[in-house]
Amino acid sequence: MTKNAPLLSPAAVQTPPELLRRLLRAKDRMDAASQEAWPVERLARVSKVSATHFAHAFREAFGLPPHRYLLTRRIERALALLRDTELPVTDIAFQTGWESLGSFGRTFRDITGLSPTAARAQARARAPQEARTLALVPACFMNAAQRPALDIAVSEKRRREAVGINRA
């Protein structure tokens, strides 16, 4: 996995503080309940701005559209459940907000490069080493380093791989 965009983009510095607080409120709601459906209209209501303004301002402030941000949270949560529980992949897919196992598996593989089952095996193989590392590095830094990158759309990533274009 590659590194994700920073928490706030350089454009966020120019975002008015009141709007930034409203965007962060919507972002916090997505973080707290990433398994729920979060269409732009719902997020705009939370932020008390129009849907169009919300989508544009969110992308400008955080460097990616709200839907991609939500996908990163869902995949991040799925990775944690795969690593830390014995739940079947199907249960994890539905608990993290996916409506079908096929969509979950395809998107998971597109983002992480592994199937959910392979990601579980890899995470468990690394567990002893990570346990030693966690003693030295705060968990929030480990989570940020392992966060799935979605700075381009999944469909664009698939297209680039099909024609052999590597991401820079």
For residues 78 and 154, membership in a common domain is answered with: yes
CA distances from 133 to 108, 139, 140 (A): 25, 10, 13
Contact 13, 73 (CB under 8 A): no
Residues 55, 64: Cα–Cα separation, whole Å: 10
Please state the rounded mean pLDDT for residues 129-158: 64
Task: Indicate the residue among 28, 43, 68 that finishes a domain.
Answer: 68
Q: Is residue 1 part of a domain?
A: no
Number of domains in the chain: 2
pLDDT of residue 168: 47
pLDDT, greater one: 57 or 132: 57
How confident is the prediction for the chain on average, in pLDDT? 83
| 4 within domain boundaries | no
24-39 mean pLDDT: 94
Spell out the alpha helix ranges (H) of 85-115: 89-95, 101-112
Q: What is the extent of the structural domain holding 19?
A: 10-68
pLDDT for 6 beyond 60? no
107/157 Cα distance (integer angstroms): 11
41 and 102 share one domain:
no
Residues 113 and 151 in one domain: yes
- Of the two residues 9 and 148, the one the predictor is more confident about is 148
Q: Is 37 part of a structural domain of the chain?
A: yes
Q: In angstroms, rounded to a whole number, what is the distance separating the alpha carbons of residues 36 and 22?
A: 19
**CATH code where residue 139 lies:** 1.10.10
85 and 129, same structural domain? yes
Q: What is the pLDDT of residue 59?
A: 93
Residue at 139 is within a domain = yes
| Cα(30)–Cα(124) distance, integer angstroms | 28
Tokens at residue 130, please? 């990570």
Task: Clarify whether residues 95 and 60 are in a common domain.
Answer: no
The answer to whether residues 157 and 90 belong to one domain is yes
Q: Specify if 168 maps to a domain.
A: no
- For the residues 39-49, what does the mean pLDDT come to? 95
Q: Write down the pLDDT at residue 11.
A: 54
Regarding whether 81 and 61 lie in a shared domain, the answer is no
Residue-level pLDDT at 1: 40
More confident residue, 155 or 80: 80
The mean per-residue pLDDT over the stretch 41-62 comes to 94
